[in-house]
Amino acid sequence: MTHGDDCCTTAEDGVESDQQQQPLILERLEKQQDKNWKSVVSHQLKKRCSCTAERAKSKILGFAPILRWLPRYQLREWLLGDAMSGLIVGILLVPQSIAYSLLASQDPIYGLYTSFFSSIIYAILGTSRHISVGIFGVLCLLVGQVVDRELALAGYLTESSVSSNSSGILLAGQRNDSVGVECDRSCYAITVGATVTFTAGVYQVLMGIFQVGFVSVYLSNSLLSGFATGASLTILTSQFKYLLGLKIPRPQGWFTLFKTWYSLLSNLGNTNICDLVTSLVCLLVLIPTKELNDRFKGKLKAPIPFELFVVIIATLASHFGHFNTDYGSGVAGDIPTGFLPPQMPMWTLIPNVAVDAFSIAIVGFAITVSLSEMFAKKHGYTVDANQEMYAIGFCNILPSFFRCFTTSAALTKTLVKESTGCQTQVSGLVSALVLLLVLLVIAPLFYSLQKCVLAVIIVVNLRGALRKFTEIPHMWRVNRIDASIWLIHHGHICAGQHRARVSSWGF
């Protein structure tokens, strides 16, 4: 042991002596010449703007991810699941697209356009394999409030003053010159909606350019949940006028929730009995069947599309029972086939809707990025938050020229998509084919579909968000700060301050 220790000590001393004997060499470095700002800028421009074949390929594949994953598509393993999930989501999108057009104050055909174009564009530009991009109730509510405000400012009659078969009458068309002389209420409504959508899409693309995707980290679950639940309560309230067959205008400003309830109670005597009975029957059918779908989703290969069955049966009953002509029930009206020619946004309207569009852009970005990251984490792959910004931005910019309104990821349809075997965004292309079939052939058959049936579909799909109210005591016990954030955002939305509250997220 002593001999070994001596050997170790000798070895260590030898290393130390070698280190001590090595001289330190100081080298004189030549002073670097100071570069002027022109050379620095020139160097950076050459570095950034140089275009090689590899760099160009990387940029193209990064901007359109479908070019990266489609050549590696596993046809035998993935096609059946993608086709099944795309078909089921497409079938669900038909009644929901028509229904959520009511929220955005638009005709049913524009809801179908919106779902069709967004499904195709996100399949090309998106990085998430599972989310379903299309109509989302909260965004429809925000767009509808802007549309109603601009319709009133442009001098169009309120909804209560127009017959069910008329799109509206122009009283004071000071701002209607840029649209055209023949632009009625429906035409001006979608012009406003498309302009808001275009502006929101530009905001989202700019967020992608400036790499703002990291902001999603700072949007807590309690903040998003409080906003979504407050908006769901507002949506529920806004649909009661259709459930009762009342024609009352949508209130603006503070405390819209309470103003709506006041109008409902004041006009309760004008309830359309036909609409009320239809609404009750549809609720009694859809609520239990949707619960059955939820309870047995583990055993069912795909959810049963009860909404579509209700829409078909209700349309047949309304058509052969003459509900519109004999009982004055509000119906969807004429839904044309095919596509309308592209139309530019109303540039003069952009300053009026710029702040609203920013709020809508923030909500769409937050929902889309949150859902895409959640499902990517669940299935073991990654998404690019900034690319998601580009994708959702172009899902708004490009369709706005074809009379569409704002879109984002939608949780309900994403859950359906995932549970039915979705593997890639090929399922989104299949959903688009289903919607294309409806747009080219089937759409006019929904002429007699009652608006109260569409309102029932919206109300039934709010069940999940409204259940959050039962979780408030648990949230308060677990974390009072998160619960307070939830309650504050919920209160602001119920008070009608969607724009102020959402805009504050951006700062």
- pLDDT of the residue at 471: 75
- pLDDT of the residue at 161: 46
Mean pLDDT of 488-494: 65
Q: What's this model's pTM, rounded to 2 decimal places?
A: 0.77
Tell which residue, 107, 195, 109, 192, has the closest CA to residue 156. Answer: 192
> Is residue 200 a part of any domain in this protein?
yes
* Cα–Cα distances in angstroms (integers) from residue 278 to residues 95, 282, 327, 328, in the given order: 16, 6, 12, 13
Q: How confident is the model at residue 495 (pLDDT cuts 50, 70, 90)?
A: low
Q: Which two tokens stand for residue 314?
A: 């209700």
- pLDDT of the residue at 174: 39
The vertex-119 CA angle with 116 and 120, nearest 5°, equals 90
> Is residue 250 a part of any domain in this protein?
yes
**Residue 364 reports pLDDT greater than 80:** yes
- pLDDT of the residue at 336: 85
- pLDDT of the residue at 317: 92
The vertex-165 CA angle with 161 and 169, nearest 5°, equals 45
- pLDDT of the residue at 474: 78
3-state secondary structure of 200: helix
Mean pLDDT of 472-483: 78
> Is residue 12 a part of any domain in this protein?
no
**Residue 110 reports pLDDT greater than 50:** yes
41 or 379, which is more confident? 379
Instruction: List, for residues 447-471, the tens digit of each pLDDT value.
Output: 888 888 888 888 888 777 677 777 7
How many independent structural domains does the chain possess? 1
CA-CA distance, 127 to 368, in Å (whole number)?
11
Mean pLDDT of 194-211: 91
Mean pLDDT of the chain: 79
> Is residue 159 a part of any domain in this protein?
yes
Residue for token pair 């407050």: 230
Mean pLDDT of 275-279: 92
Instruction: List, for residues 48-101, the tens digit of each pLDDT value.
Output: 666 666 666 666 666 788 888 888 888 888 888 889 889 888 988 888 898 888
- pLDDT of the residue at 490: 63
> Is residue 106 a part of any domain in this protein?
yes
* Cα–Cα distances in angstroms (integers) from residue 76 to residues 33, 83, 348, 433, in the given order: 63, 12, 52, 21
Residue for token pair 């701002």: 175
Residue 134's H or E segment, with its range, is strand 133-134
CA-CA distance, 417 to 276, in Å (whole number)?
33
CA-CA distance, 368 to 117, in Å (whole number)?
17
Q: Which of 28-37, 185-194, 221-230, 392-401 has the lowest mean pLDDT?
A: 28-37
- pLDDT of the residue at 32: 53
The vertex-146 CA angle with 143 and 152, nearest 5°, equals 140
- pLDDT of the residue at 402: 93
CA diameter of the chain: 114
Specify the length of the chain in residues.
Answer: 507
> Is residue 490 a part of any domain in this protein?
yes
Q: Residue 181 carries which DSSP code?
A: T
Q: Are residues 199 and 191 in contact, defined by beta-carbon separation less than 8 angstroms?
A: no
> Is residue 16 a part of any domain in this protein?
no
Could you tell me the residue range of the domain that residue 269 belongs to?
75-505
Mean pLDDT of 121-150: 89
> Is residue 32 a part of any domain in this protein?
no
